Amino acid sequence: MKKVLFVTLILITLALDWAALDDITTGREPDFTAEYIILVVSVPILIFSISKLTPPHLPPTSKT
């Protein structure tokens, strides 16, 4: 269940990023502050979500 929530969070974040980038590249607004804030805030959200989905790194065990 947790995995579904993190995947949903990632997809929503990527959709908001796409919309913000679309506004920045094609918009005619004089101020794109909100779009840039969305992009900056999405980076830690994506890093956190992806880190929760990936398995932890386990060092190799050596038998001597």
pLDDT tens by residue, 17-61: 999 999 999 988 889 999 999 999 999 999 999 988 888 777 777
Question: Tokens standing for 15?
Answer: 């959709």
pLDDT tens by residue, 1-25: 788 998 999 999 999 999 999 999 9
Residue 17 burial (CB count, 10 A): 18
Report the distance separating Cα 37 and Cα 17, nearest Å.
10
Given a contact cutoff of 8 angstroms between Cβ atoms, the answer to whether 53 and 7 are in contact is yes
Question: Can you give the pLDDT at residue 18?
Answer: 96
Question: Can you give the pLDDT at residue 64?
Answer: 63
Domain ranges across the chain: 2-53
Report the distance separating Cα 43 and Cα 41, nearest Å.
6
